[in-house]
Amino acid sequence: MMWTTLLAYSDAHADEGGVSYWLPGRFGSLAATPQLPGWSMAEVYYHTSVSAFGSAAAAREIHVGRIPATINVDLNLRLNAQADLILLNPTYTFATPVLGGQLAIGVTGLFGRSSANLAGTLTTSVGPFAVTSTGSFGDSITSVGDLYPQATLKWNAGVHNFMTYVTGDIPVGAYSSTRLANLGIGHGAFDAGGGYTYFNPQAGHEFSAVAGFTYNFKNTDTQYQNGVDFHVDWGASQFLSKQVFVGLVGYAYQQITDDFGQNPVLGGFRSRVLGVGPQVGFLFPVGDMQGYLNLKGYGEFAAENRPAGWNTWLTFSLSPQAPTSTVQPARRMVTK
């Protein structure tokens, strides 16, 4: 199964102004299962709709320069954001073992539209003087995003599968520190972790979990640096046949160190969110390749210092075809 490298688009998620590099749900079912050697390609349509209140909304207004960092604020703001993205993820899986495992490298690029709107009442004070203002502003952008290289190593031992991965952000996408909506995050990032998949093809049972940490580099445009993030993505599925499966997916995201360079009103601005939802997948031949179609969705809850809402992923991938005598459902299941 191929994991899709979807990264944050900067109007929709946390850390600096509520925006993180890591997009929760990036991994899912069969994340650690080895693949057939050769090239594969995944195409993903991703849609999200989120909102935030209070400090999470004000953080966006602060970071686009609408609120000076030297004044005190009383927050009554709402942020609404949407994104529609197309992601392309070519990956090459090597036939020669590396450290006894299977090495795969790839990169993800994205194109799409991101929009955001901020509205509400803001009271600012300097000493004994206070000013209250009510209004809204917003913007949108249609362009390309950052690039996200990744490498994985996977090992198989019967029904048990293990993996380790490294990935990161190359900040070449459309970004402006004065814009509310962006498709880049304005800084580099490095992320690494490991995962496990239990997969019994005879019974059709599967469970996967992948955990990792993100280190964020400083945004030199804003002199802001996000703290370290910890994240866990999981998926569970039951194959109804060799071609069709259904199941659940979920994630947990928690920032574990404070941001640096934030407005004092925001405090450490550590963000958190949980998500869960259904998934369905279908495998089918495409010439001498294997096609895979997956639809999954997440509803978010327990958010802190981060916009929350819902998101859906529609994935189509092509990968080398397994031998017809081999039961190998979901060869490269793109899971976020």
Strand ranges in the chain using DSSP code E only, listed in sequence order:
38-53, 72-93, 102-126, 129-144, 148-157, 160-169, 189-200, 205-216, 229-239, 244-255, 272-286, 289-304, 308-320
Contact 28, 333 (CB under 8 A): yes
Tell me how far apart the alpha carbons of residues 15 and 105 are, in angstroms, rounded to a whole number.
28
**Confidence check: pLDDT of 261 > 60:** yes
Per-residue pLDDT tens over the stretch 144-198? 999 999 999 999 999 999 999 999 999 999 998 888 888 999 999 999 999 999 9
CA neighbor of 317 nearest in space, from 91, 161, 105: 91
| Pairing of the two strands 129-144 and 148-157 | unpaired
Q: In the prediction, which pLDDT does 125 show?
A: 55
Using pLDDT thresholds of 50, 70 and 90, give the confidence band for residue 8.
very low
Torsion from C-alpha of 45, 51, 56, 62, nearest 10 degrees: 80
Q: In the prediction, which pLDDT does 309 show?
A: 93
Q: Which residue has the higher pLDDT, 266 or 298?
A: 298
Q: In the prediction, which pLDDT does 109 show?
A: 95
| Structure token pair of residue 292 | 């895979």
Q: In the prediction, which pLDDT does 330 show?
A: 44
Name the average pLDDT for the chain.
83
Claim: this prediction has a pTM higher than 0.85: no
Q: In the prediction, which pLDDT does 328 show?
A: 47
Per-residue pLDDT tens over the stretch 229-255? 999 999 999 999 999 999 999 999 999
CA neighbor of 89 nearest in space, from 20, 140, 154, 39: 39
Q: In the prediction, which pLDDT does 91 show?
A: 97
Residue 237 region by backbone torsions, left for phi larger than 0, else alpha for psi between -120 and 50, else beta: beta
Q: Which domains occur in the chain, in start order?
A: 38-122+136-320 (2.40.128.130)
**Confidence check: pLDDT of 65 > 50:** no
Per-residue pLDDT tens over the stretch 86-108? 999 999 999 999 999 999 999 99
In the DSSP assignment, the letter for residue 31 is T
**Confidence check: pLDDT of 257 > 50:** yes
